[in-house]
Homo-oligomer: A and B are copies of this chain.
Amino acid sequence: MADTGTQGGETLLFLTDEQLRKGIEAMFFAYRGFTADPDRILDKYGYGRAHHRAIHFINRQPGLTVTTLLDVLGVTKQSLNRVLRTMIEDGLVESRVGRKDKRARHLHLTEAGLALERELSEAQRARMRAAYRTAGPQAVAGFRHVLEAMMDPEIRRHYQTMKDGG
């Protein structure tokens, strides 16, 4: 392997403005690909990305409260409530009153919600899987490492918390 390591000399080539610009464009274009497949599916059902994000995290952490979800998504409660309400009305999401704290609402996906989650995440994972396969395990490790370093510290907490199935 070529030594692109960290010791000396012309070793920081990867930090040139041009390299950084390419990284920025890569993020922009890749994110488009990342959302393309789910967007098409969501469209069929009259939903949008906001619904997808909510579904994703409710599935990830069933029973989480509205406040927790708000925190993870980083939007206002009015904004979240709009998408949550439609999904509850449509029978994709169930909102259960807390046993201990009766103010809290715990969110769960219904069978229909789980079905949509699977359809969405299968499409998204298929693309991710293809990219991973093309790039190889070492690249995947690097990918994750850079993305993690790019997050805001507060957000990184959410990410890592869910690592172990918080």
Residues of A near any B CB (own CB < 8 A): 4-6, 11, 13-15, 17, 19-34, 36, 53, 56, 60, 74, 121, 124-125, 127-152, 155-156, 158-159, 162-163
A132 and B15 contacting across the interface, CB-CB below 8 Å? yes
B27 and A137 contacting across the interface, CB-CB below 8 Å? no
B152 and A36 contacting across the interface, CB-CB below 8 Å? yes
**CB contact between A22 and one of B29, B36, B158, B163 (< 8 Å): that residue:** B163
Q: List 5 A-B contacts (CB under 8 A).
A: A4-B138, A14-B132, A20-B132, A32-B151, A142-B145
A136 to chain B, nearest CB (A): 6
A137 and B5 contacting across the interface, CB-CB below 8 Å? yes
Tell me the complex Cα distance, A53–B145, Å.
Answer: 25
- Contact status of A155 and B11, CB under 8 A, knowing A20-B128, A132-B146, A146-B132: no
**Residues of B with C-beta under 8 A to A141:** 4, 14, 139, 142
